[in-house]
Amino acid sequence: MVEQIDSNIKKMLSKTNFGTVFLDNCFNSKFLIMEVIDGNIAGVCFVGGALNSNGIEIVENYRGQGLGTKLLNELLDECKKRKISFLTGVFKPTNKISIHTHMKIGYVPLFSVYYNEKEGMEIIVILPFNKKGKFLSKVLKIFNTRPGNFLFVIMFKLLNPFLKNLIAFDENNISPINLSKSIKNFRKVENLDLK
């Protein structure tokens, strides 16, 4: 079901075991898609920020039952109703289930970014819905080069105070990017095993 963020939803979410960063994204989002089973949150999808950042978490007991796909399909329907042009997101290259689920519904890998030794690498993805989304997808692929990735890391550092408005992340909860390690560990998405 589609939910707007209010004090009751925040209270329900605070009772889950979801991580601080994910909860912060939910609290700063435009809307949520939630599945509640027996009065408990089983899974949540959010969309937030100017870049329509998207994320999903499923409670461990409910994983592998198709709940992620159900939530994502509801999210896509809501995005179409709201005339959202695109969604953006991230996944770890090691999370094969997330990769498969996202690619199956049409997400396109854009570029990778290596944050630091603790966080490692993430793949930035986009799901374009119309011409505006497809245009943005082409523009963002500039970051899939070493110079482009360097530019992304610099921009990310400079825009850190505005991340809450851009991607629904509170800048205080994001691991810092290590510039030298990011450049050293750069990998083109075409060179990553995403199957």
Q: List, for residues 54-70, the tens digit of each pLDDT value.
A: 989 999 899 889 898 89
Per-residue tokens: 144: 């899939």
Rounded-to-integer distance, Cα 193 and Cα 131, Å: 28
**CA-CA distances (angstroms) from residue 83 to 14, 69, 133, 151?**
30, 21, 11, 30
168 or 149, which is more confident: 149
- Predicted model pTM: 0.85
pLDDT band at 94 (very low <50, low <70, confident <90, very high): confident
**Mean pLDDT of all residues in the chain?**
88
Q: Mean of the pLDDT values across residues 142-158?
A: 93
Q: Note the pLDDT tens digit of each residue in 5-18.
A: 889 999 999 889 89
Residue-wise pLDDT for 98-147, tens only, equals 788 888 889 999 999 998 888 888 899 999 999 999 999 999 999 999 99
pLDDT for residue 1: 82
Whole-number Å distance between alpha carbons of 128 and 134: 5
**Whether residue 30 has pLDDT greater than 80:** yes
Domains of the chain: 2-191 (3.40.630.30)
What is the mean pLDDT of the segment spanning 35-40? 90
What average pLDDT does the segment 164-177 reach? 71
In a 3-state reduction of DSSP, which class is residue 167? helix
pLDDT at 171: 60
